[in-house]
Structure 1
Amino acid sequence: MTKRRILVDDTRRELSEHGTETFPMTVNHDDLWAFEGKRVPIHWHDDLEISLPREGEAIYQIYEKSYIVRPGEGLLLNRNVPHSCSSQNNARARYSTILVRPDFLYGDFGSDIERNCFRPFLENSAVPCIHLKGTDEGEKEILKLLNQVEEVFDRKVCCYELRIKGLLCEAFSMILSENRKSFSRFVPANQLELERLEKMLNYLNARSQEVISLQSLAEQVHLSREVCCRLFKKMTGKTVTGYLEEYRANKSFPLVQSGQYSMTQIADMVGFSSASRFASAFRKQFGCNPGEYNSLKKKKM
């Protein structure tokens, strides 16, 4: 079965459109096991994203913090926030994802709704996400509304578009008003940091099969090695070395699945300095040694 991939450009910005130009929202039914490596790699997009787990625990890495989101909860991701998704020990995790372009909700930029309601959240890097745990009546009602969005989207009865917009506006009015205290600490979104992360990821991904020095990476964004490393960790929650090992391990996954190459060959093809380092990174990523993967897969069939 062909594995799903998040279509991104060289900077990890997602390329896929969510919905259409005339109805810029959609609902996906996602399964981590359907993605390459059973995880969603670091990416970001202009749309707001709401994750609603249905089975298992989804672990979202957002900057340097991890959020474990369980069935009955939800996670609202702000726009242009680098994030990835995995599960503990690659366990099964299924979830619904609502993606919506912000102006679908607030209308014209500069309107009272955009300026007074959405801007304190959308342009505030101090609030990259909001975890809806359903621990109070307000959050329970919000989650109920969001689940109704999925139901209406799936049925697509007459005027479902209008019903969805109404449900989303009601849900966001509650989310934004109930979290207004957290918006009081306003930190303007730093576009320069995101641009630098784009350049670093572009450089690392394009040269993942090579030996990459921290100095050469830092030069791409005109920073010292120390500041470069701190910025990368801040934006991704990973060290540069950790990101490269994860990226290379994911690149190795289809090669291991094919069963056509030795571990030494695969290590060389994806950029590991030795078969042992490749095996260690693969085991960390997928919970087993690469040589064991195909035999374990056959046993489960």
Structure 2
Amino acid sequence: MQIKDFMIDQSLKELTEHRTVVLPVACYETTVNQNINGFIPLHWHDELQFVLILKGEAFFQINEEKITVREGEGLFINSGCLHMAKDKNESGCVYICLNVSPSFVLSQELYTTFVTPYIQATNISYLHLVPKELWAKNILDAIMKINQLIKENPPYYEIDISLHLTLIWKNVIVNGVQLEYEQTEMLKSQRMKQMLIWIHTHYTEKIMLDDIARAGGLSRSECCRYFKRILKKTPLNYVTDYRIQKSLLLLQQSESNVTDVAYQVGFNSTSYFIDKFRKSMNMTPLAYKKYKAADSLCEGGHLK
């Protein structure tokens, strides 16, 4: 299953239901550049995420940190961490994405001792899984096996998945990272999410830097530092990029026109929208609309 349109709420929390049959688990293969945005946009979820790169390489950002993950490698992304992914060097990156509810990786009796400390630790936003490390190879092998089990559905495969998840979590612990809990890091993450929630609630309106800063309880200069440090762009540039993301689905509606879409997503000038869209998507909004219409026609006529 390829998730092409990432559904997220106003706080960037992913709304895609991570569930396979009766298990609080989702495992699917995804091609990064086939997402509607051309990349996996910034989001977060309560589930733990494990990634295995099957082909190519991808550039990931997890909270403030950036990392390139190559074929055969993977990632563990902790619960609640902001993250995004882009194809690197037009490699056609494909990866297995395994999302699992933290409460499912171990039994309830073991959860408080062996899971809670890890999802609350402020120094483990992610772990880079490199197969030359035995603990990491064990995790990558288990991701592959879970993917096969879900595809093939053999008898009692749910029990086998549960066993592999236990093995995965044991190897996360075997890695031996010393856990840290910094109140300032927790507060930083909370303030960032508050500012993003505000933007995603008000993106159709006129937005000023003061408004964004106030949502995070920060000064204008500190607000700018947060965005540049975590998202590598200014707050208002982020607003523009988010508005363009929101325009993509609207442009695919047959009755829509470029001017209406521009105003619907918060631009007060069609020409400014076209200019920013072209710089972001390497084509004009009208060209994107025609391209998507032709693409849809091909799919409907089975020409793909």
The answer to whether TM tops 0.5 is yes
Larger RCO, structures 1/2 (Cα 8 Å, 6+ apart): 1
Partner SS state of residue 75, structure 2: strand
- TM-score normalised to the size of structure 2? 0.81
Match of 2:107 in 1: 107
Give the distance between the partners of 1:252 and 1:177, measured in 2 at CA.
45
Match of 1:7 in 2: 7
Q: CA shift at 1:7, angstroms?
A: 2.7
Match of 2:130 in 1: 133
Contact 1:52 1:96 in 2 (8 A): yes
Aligned residue runs from structure 1 range 1-301, under 5 A: 4-19=4-19, 23-88=23-88, 92-108=92-108, 111-112=109-110, 114-115=112-113, 117-178=114-175, 180=176, 182-187=177-182, 190-257=185-252, 266-272=261-267, 274-275=269-270, 277-290=272-285, 292-293=287-288
Partner SS state of residue 213, structure 2: helix
Q: CA shift at 1:183, angstroms?
A: 2.5
Give the distance between the partners of 2:232 and 2:180, measured in 1 at CA.
22
Q: CA shift at 1:295, angstroms?
A: 7.0
Q: CA shift at 1:237, angstroms?
A: 4.5
Give the distance between the partners of 1:104 and 1:3, measured in 2 at CA.
23
Partner SS state of residue 201, structure 1: helix
Give the distance between the partners of 1:49 and 1:287, measured in 2 at CA.
31
Give the distance between the partners of 1:168 and 1:102, measured in 2 at CA.
10
Contact 1:107 1:114 in 2 (8 A): no
Q: CA shift at 1:76, angstroms?
A: 0.8
Contact 1:57 1:87 in 2 (8 A): yes
Q: CA shift at 1:190, angstroms?
A: 4.9
Q: CA shift at 1:185, angstroms?
A: 4.5
Query: Quick one: which amino acid aligns to residue 58 of structure 2?
Result: A
Cα distance per residue 1:120-152 (max 9 Å; x no partner): 421112110011122334433331122111111
Q: Alignment length, in residue pairs?
A: 295
After superposing the two structures, state which structure 1 stretch, 71-80 or 283-292, moved more: 283-292
- TM-score normalised to the size of structure 1? 0.82
Cα distance per residue 1:72-121 (max 9 Å; x no partner): 1111100000112222477633222101111212222xx45642x33442
Give the distance between the partners of 1:202 and 1:158, measured in 2 at CA.
44
Q: CA shift at 1:192, angstroms?
A: 4.1
Q: CA shift at 1:54, angstroms?
A: 2.4
Give the distance between the partners of 1:48 and 1:237, measured in 2 at CA.
25
Give the distance between the partners of 1:188 and 1:129, measured in 2 at CA.
18
Partner SS state of residue 37, structure 2: helix
Cα distance per residue 1:167-203 (max 9 Å; x no partner): 121122123212x1x3254435855444433332222
Pairwise CA RMSD: 3.3
Contact 1:82 1:235 in 2 (8 A): no
